[in-house]
Structure 1
Amino acid sequence: MASVVGMEDREDSVIDGQRMSLLDMVEEKNRVNNKKTLLHRFVFVAKLNQNSTEQTEVGEYYDSLFKNLHNNNQNAEGVTGLMLVYPRLCVHVIESSTEMFQEILKDFCSNIEEGTGHIENAKVLVLSHDIPVRLYQQWNFRILDIRAPSGDDYETSESTYKVATDLVIQLLKLGSYLAKQPKLNLKNAMDSLHEKVPELLPQQDIIAYLVETEDSCISKPSDYLNKYYRIPFDVCLESEKSWPMPTRLFPYN
């Protein structure tokens, strides 16, 4: 009987040694897809600082920032995405890892608080976790020298959530369109976005509306950053305020 039990234990140990955990499966999937860590997609809209006179300065700043962040953190995923720069506004799609997002959010907050950066105000529309594939193979920015139509502020009967969702869908369709373009024709396709796919470009009045609105469905960069660095607090249960304290006979009571 002892020999049979010992044989069963050895068989179980062999099976356990060959069995893959969920973490092993996720890491194996990442290796197959050439992913170092989980990928996330981050979409935000922003108002440019009044002191920024050249639109190219905004794109060049973030191009330099992403390169420096990647050089300082070789194990993190590189940044890909697209930044559309309007005369006074911008919309930005970024795909990268959690470590890179934290550094980018820190840069947002410091620039906005100090008032020395290229962005004066920003709102986060969505942060999609563990995206299966990248829509963009590299990071680019394009200047859309389009003047917004003069008139009253943007007004809508739809909720802010619906307006933000439609804009995100619009950007995803734009990314899907660019992903289908041949690599040799990608630059020409991006230079002619306003001519070829004007319906996929967000309207400036909608961007301005989302930047200025104060709605709980969209957040400031500082709100997201606080979720990572907020100090945990102790929770006092109602049962702990009574005396004598109730006796738990079983752990599930």
Structure 2
Amino acid sequence: MVSNQVPRSTLLSALEEKRRHQMKKYLLHRLFFVALLRDEVHDGEVRAYHEHLFQKIAKFHLGESASGVLLIYSHCVLHILEASSGTLYHILKDLAALENQGPAALLQDIKILVISHNIPTRLFSQWNATMVEVPITLEDVTQSQTTEEVITECLTLILRLGVYLATLKVGNKGLGDCLHNVVPELLIPAETIRCLCKAKECLSPGEFLKMYHDPLQPRMDSETVWPTHTHLFI
């Protein structure tokens, strides 16, 4: 016996379909970068700069919120951001503009550690900034490791920190300045961050954008057929 029932959608299925369409609006990417701080910069200035930057970008990318965490050390920062390609592009452009300010810039020696493309889910539910105090270690392990090995270890710690932060209930007041007391083993030493800021293997925002704009298949001189270098007719 053939059933003549017409399949009907439910409110739950409609909401799930709407959510699936919303999630497909843009792909998520994760940016990791480090930077040195200008002398005598207060952590409030660093927070205010990034909050202003997000507000400015939000006017061009409605509904594309950025998540992540900004760890502010005494003389350097470590920033992890999750956002669409358009949002990250505008952030990199602003960071590149900071480079052109020279010694007056808030952030110095900005270096991109890695960009993870098309991540399946967010590691952070929102964006937060927090001050961390990591004790200075006498042993510099970066001297016996390659830059790639140092970055790999740093990314491992960052992802473990992200998993830990995902278990916290972060309110409107943010994380609070206590990560160095609760999970000091998940924080990257300040000496390592300063070393990465000087690493030649890591690209600056300006260098990354230059590479981003360069064509993947540059035109060869032999491919140029017009205009010709000589007259066709004499």
TM-score range, shorter chain: 0.7 to 0.9
Q: Which amino acid aligns with 1:233?
A: P
Q: Distance in 1 between matches of 2:164 and 2:150?
A: 21
1:30 to partner: Cα distance: 7.8
1:108 to partner: Cα distance: 0.8
User: 2:229 is matched with which residue?
Assistant: none
SS at match of 1:206: helix
CA contact (8 A) 2:132 2:179 kept: no
1:130 to partner: Cα distance: 0.3
1:101 to partner: Cα distance: 1.1
Change (3 A) 1:131 1:155: closer
Instruction: Write out aligned runs for 1:22-171 (5 A).
Output: 31=20, 34-50=23-39, 52-74=40-62, 77-115=64-102, 116-146=104-134, 148-149=136-137, 155-171=142-158
TM-score, normalised with respect to structure 2: 0.78
User: 1:211 is matched with which residue?
Assistant: 197
SS at match of 1:191: coil
Deviations 1:134-185 (A, max 9, x none): 0111111111244635x68664322110101110111111011010123459
Residue ranges of structure 2 left out of the alignment (5+ in a row): 1-16, 226-234
SS at match of 1:123: strand
TM-score, normalised with respect to structure 1: 0.72
**Higher helix proportion (structure 1 or 2):** 1
Moved more, 218-227 or 38-47: 218-227
1:196 aligns to 2:196 (yes or no) = no
Change (3 A) 1:153 1:206: same
CA contact (8 A) 1:154 1:205 kept: no
User: 1:18 is matched with which residue?
Assistant: none
Aligned positions, number: 206
CA contact (8 A) 1:43 1:94 kept: yes
1:117 to partner: Cα distance: 2.9
CA contact (8 A) 1:82 1:139 kept: yes
1:233 to partner: Cα distance: 3.1
Change (3 A) 1:103 1:184: closer
SS at match of 2:211: helix
Change (3 A) 1:69 1:61: same
Instruction: Write out aligned runs for 1:235-246 (5 A).
Output: 235=220
Q: Distance in 2 between matches of 1:184 and 1:200?
A: 22
What is the alpha-carbon root mean square deviation over aligned residues? Answer: 2.7
Deviations 1:70-97 (A, max 9, x none): 123215x211110001111000000001
1:229 aligns to 2:213 (yes or no) = yes
User: 1:245 is matched with which residue?
Assistant: none
